């Protein structure tokens, strides 16, 4: 047993007072004369013995009562940790402020209760101790040691946040924040609901020898419905086209959800609505069909109504509806009539023809597809521009020339890590198969294509360093006739035949027209539908900055917040780097000189939607595995008064209440003896 105030034990000298009174009896006796006292002798002896016993018992009770009071004021306790109070305490307190802490409690929310518990913990320490208070935001202020008064003030400004951290993140932050402290007693408090998505206890590895206290905030609500994700079945958007949007809705609760309204809004106008059913602890995919009624950038969001956790009730996304696909055709001597009929006379395409000797490289920035039509050689300047174009997301379609300069062409294709052209085979060969699952055939044919009339080539090119990321058409001898190589963010589509009669009738056949047409319309560079805050830190937008003075900014729609992200010009794209600037979900306009260029969407991470928590039994099992040397304890904030619990873990099991009770018992016994013992 130890004492918090051992100097007060000097008060034990007070027990000498009743002892001295007992030894020096100051009562004065009166003498009474009797004629005969012989018969009183036995009674006198008996009364004297009883009086002495009574005085001794009273003396003992008084001594014990005084001793119990003195010991109580010295605050005795049974220690549970070997702390050196002289070296001081460095206390780290983590309060989970992720969205899952918005769950309801009788006092408010889990986060509100967690902040109050943090205050109670701080109040149990001295003003000479140091504190590191932090949450999932990891701000610079949170990495600075605070005194007791500063720590209590910091808690007043905390709110929930879209950020969430793992055990590894927390331990690393603590290590960096407290490494300059001279305090030797390290105490770490973690206040959280301990959601399984974030707290993988296998990552917990503490090396500083400090004591750890896990304060569990068990959630009362286990029901939550979230819009998990969405995607389009078609990657190409045209005005007047009917599209299908697939939406995944996840039910994280224990009960089934029936007829939940799901709404789709595009540019502020409701486009579709559905009533969906989702079984407990599962998800359901639902398709929404609607018609594209306008062109340009489209700002949309999906919405459901669900409480109390509402951060995941909306999913924002953007997409672009193009008027036409910009196609650039580069030819050797004269335009190819077949390619002209395909791309220049179709309203779906906006086609620009360029001779190989007079190329406008600035036009590459606006092109979704560049077609090389029987160009005999590739100059170094053209190779550099095409390489930049493909790496930045463009699509290059190559029709070879019978007079091909193998050196320049294969040097260019080799630099892209693409397949290279080999010899010209003059034998006649028929198309043997088509890939109906290819991006450029899928959905365009009925059946598997086995009974189709395949075209024939009179001559064709073979390939060196052949590798195919996607085969489109194949000859009977298994040689590729049309295939795709993925290069950087773009694609290179290589044809084994040219689009003229010398190479047969492939270029006139409908089976060749289908992939050529789809290569054009599917080459539009669609930006990703949405970003996840904290995960996606960059995005390419199809706006090329023309000069160094052009700076893009992000402005939240419906709000006043505006950011200038880090940006880099990459040919026909500009890469925006968001880092950790954005912390609010919504649609952000990409602005240039006050005018909107495009828009990007940001959503909160759906990991917080998964309401799966570690139970008290699971946490205790983890603590047991760590052993006593790890100094880990679990404090259930819902089951006990956390103030008393923290005090016990810090100062040991307090005994002063028992000594107060003993003092009262001793005093009561003294009074009873004095009144009842005649």
Both 538 and 502 in one domain: the answer is: no
Both 361 and 480 in one domain: the answer is: yes
Both 170 and 125 in one domain: the answer is: yes
68: pLDDT strictly greater than 90: no
Both 463 and 505 in one domain: the answer is: yes
pLDDT band at 80; cut points 50, 70, 90: low
Q: Report the pLDDT averaged over residues 402-412.
A: 93
Evaluate the CA torsion angle 637, 640, 642, 645 in order and state its sign: negative
Q: Report the pLDDT averaged over residues 184-205.
A: 88
Half-sphere exposure of 59 (CA within 13 A, CB side): 16
Q: Report the pLDDT averaged over residues 526-546.
A: 76
Q: Report the pLDDT averaged over residues 255-270.
A: 94
pLDDT band at 14; cut points 50, 70, 90: confident
pLDDT of residue 84: 47
Lowest mean pLDDT among 304-308, 364-368, 541-545: 541-545
Q: Is residue 478 part of a domain?
A: yes
Lowest mean pLDDT among 254-268, 422-436, 649-663: 649-663
Residue 109: strand, helix, or coil: strand
* Count of domains forming the chain: 4
Q: Tally the residues of the chain.
A: 678
CB-count exposure of residue 501 (10 Å: 0-12, 13-18, 19+): exposed
Domain boundary among 479, 497, 521: 521
Both 473 and 354 in one domain: the answer is: yes
Both 92 and 36 in one domain: the answer is: no
Q: Is residue 75 part of a domain?
A: yes
Q: CA-based angle 395:397:400, to the nearest 5?
A: 155
408: pLDDT strictly greater than 90: yes
Domain boundary among 521, 551, 579: 521
pLDDT of residue 151: 92
**CATH, residue 159:** 3.40.50.410
Question: Which residue range forms the structural domain that includes residue 120?
Answer: 85-221+611-651
Q: Is residue 255 part of a domain?
A: no
Arithmetic mean of pLDDT over the chain: 84
Q: Is residue 148 part of a domain?
A: yes
User: CA-CA distance, 571 to 589, in Å (whole number)?
Assistant: 21
192: pLDDT strictly greater than 80: yes
Both 183 and 214 in one domain: the answer is: yes
Q: Is residue 493 part of a domain?
A: yes
Both 551 and 667 in one domain: the answer is: no
**CATH, residue 439:** 3.40.50.880
Domain boundary among 576, 603, 630: 603
pLDDT of residue 221: 61
Q: Which pair of tokens denotes residue 180? A: 């300059």
Q: Is residue 38 part of a domain?
A: yes
Pick the residue with more confidence: 15 or 315? Answer: 315
Q: Is residue 275 part of a domain?
A: no
Pick the residue with more confidence: 590 or 652? Answer: 590
Pick the residue with more confidence: 480 or 36? Answer: 480
For residue 512, say if its preceding peptide bond is cis, omega within 30 degrees of 0.
no
Both 540 and 401 in one domain: the answer is: no
pLDDT of residue 536: 80
pLDDT band at 219; cut points 50, 70, 90: confident
The set of long-range contacts for 528-531, using a CB threshold of 8 Å and a minimum separation of 24, is: 529/230, 529/231, 529/232, 529/317, 529/318, 529/319, 529/601, 530/315, 530/316, 530/317, 530/318, 530/600, 530/601, 530/602, 530/603, 531/578, 531/600, 531/601, 531/602, 531/603
Both 209 and 113 in one domain: the answer is: yes
Q: Is residue 319 part of a domain?
A: no
Both 586 and 479 in one domain: the answer is: no
Both 454 and 582 in one domain: the answer is: no
pLDDT of residue 150: 92
CB atoms within 10 A of CB 325: 22
Express each pLDDT in 551-577 by its tens digit: 889 999 988 888 999 888 765 568 889
Percent helix / strand / coil, the chain, rounded to 5: 30, 30, 40
User: CA-CA distance, 137 to 147, in Å (whole number)?
Assistant: 20
Q: Report the pLDDT averaged over residues 406-430.
A: 93
Q: Report the pLDDT averaged over residues 631-636.
A: 84
């Amino acid at each position: 047993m130890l004492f918090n105030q051992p100097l007060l034990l000097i008060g034990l000298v007070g027990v000498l007072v009743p002892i001295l009174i007992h030894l020096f009896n100051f009562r004065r006796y009166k003498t009474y004369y009797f004629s005969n006292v012989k018969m009183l002798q036995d009674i006198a002896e008996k009364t004297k013995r009883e009086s002495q016993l009574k005085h001794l018992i009273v003396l003992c009770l008084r001594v014990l009562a005084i001793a119990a009071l003195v010991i109580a004021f010295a605050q005795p306790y049974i220690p549970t940790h070997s702390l050196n109070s002289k070296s001081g305490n460095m206390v780290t307190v983590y309060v989970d402020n992720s969205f899952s802490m918005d769950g309801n409690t009788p006092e408010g929310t889990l986060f509100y209760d967690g902040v109050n518990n943090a205050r109670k913990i701080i109040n149990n320490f001295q003003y000479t101790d140091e504190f590191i208070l932090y949450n999932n935001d990891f701000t610079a202020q949170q990495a600075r040691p605070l005194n007791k008064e500063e720590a209590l003030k910091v808690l007043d400004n905390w709110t929930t946040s879209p950020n969430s951290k793992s055990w590894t993140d927390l331990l690393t932050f603590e290590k960096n924040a407290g490494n300059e402290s001279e305090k030797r007693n390290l105490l770490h408090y973690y206040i959280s609901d301990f959601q399984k998505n974030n707290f993988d206890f296998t990552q917990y590895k503490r090396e500083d020898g400090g004591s750890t206290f896990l304060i569990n905030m068990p959630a009362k609500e286990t029901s939550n419905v979230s819009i998990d994700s969405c995607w389009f079945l078609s990657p190409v958007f045209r005005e007047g086209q009917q599209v299908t949007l697939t939406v995944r809705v996840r039910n994280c609760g224990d009960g089934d959800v029936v007829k939940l309204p799901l709404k789709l809004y595009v540019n502020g106008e409701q486009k579709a609505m559905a009533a969906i059913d989702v079984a407990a602890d599962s998800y359901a995919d639902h398709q929404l069909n609607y018609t594209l009624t306008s062109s340009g950038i489209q700002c949309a969001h999906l919405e459901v109504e669900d409480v109390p956790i509402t951060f995941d009730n909306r999913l924002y996304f953007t997409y672009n509806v193009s008027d036409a696909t910009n196609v650039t055709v580069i030819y050797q001597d004269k335009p190819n009539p077949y390619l002209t009929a395909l791309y220049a006379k179709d309203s779906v395409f906006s086609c620009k023809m360029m001779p190989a000797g007079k190329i406008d490289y600035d036009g590459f920035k606006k092109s979704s597809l560049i077609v090389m039509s029987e160009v005999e050689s590739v100059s170094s300047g053209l190779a550099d521009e095409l390489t930049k174009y493909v790496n930045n997301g463009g699509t290059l379609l190559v029709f070879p020339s019978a007079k091909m300069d193998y050196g320049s062409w294969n040097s260019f294709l080799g630099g892209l890590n693409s397949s290279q052209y080999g010899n010209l085979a003059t034998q006649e060969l028929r198309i043997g198969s088509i890939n109906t699952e290819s991006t450029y055939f899928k959905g365009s044919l009925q059946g598997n294509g086995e009974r189709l009339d395949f075209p024939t080539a009179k001559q064709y090119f073979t390939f060196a360093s052949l590798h195919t990321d996607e085969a489109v058409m194949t000859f009977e001898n298994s040689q590729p006739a049309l295939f795709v190589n993925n290069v950087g963010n773009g694609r290179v589509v290589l044809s084994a035949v040219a689009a003229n009669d010398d190479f047969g009738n492939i270029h006139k056949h409908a089976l060749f027209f289908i992939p050529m047409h789809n290569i054009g319309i599917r080459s539009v560079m669609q930006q990703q539908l949405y970003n996840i805050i904290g995960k996606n830190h960059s995005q390419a937008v199809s706006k090329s900055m023309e000069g160094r003075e052009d700076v893009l900014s992000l402005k939240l729609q419906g709000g006043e917040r505006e950011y200038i992200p880090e940006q880099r010009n990459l040919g026909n794209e500009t890469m925006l780097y968001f880092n950790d600037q954005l912390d609010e979900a919504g649609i952000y306009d990409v602005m240039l000189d006050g005018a909107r260029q495009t828009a990007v969407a940001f959503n909160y991470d759906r990991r917080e939607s998964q309401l799966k928590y570690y139970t008290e039994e699971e946490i205790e099992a983890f603590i047991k595995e760590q052993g006593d040397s790890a100094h880990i304890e679990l404090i259930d904030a819902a089951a006990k008064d956390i103030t008393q619990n923290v005090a016990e873990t810090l100062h040991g099991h307090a005994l002063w209440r028992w000594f107060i009770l003993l003092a009262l018992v001793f005093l009561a016994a003294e009074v009873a003896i004095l009144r009842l013992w005649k």
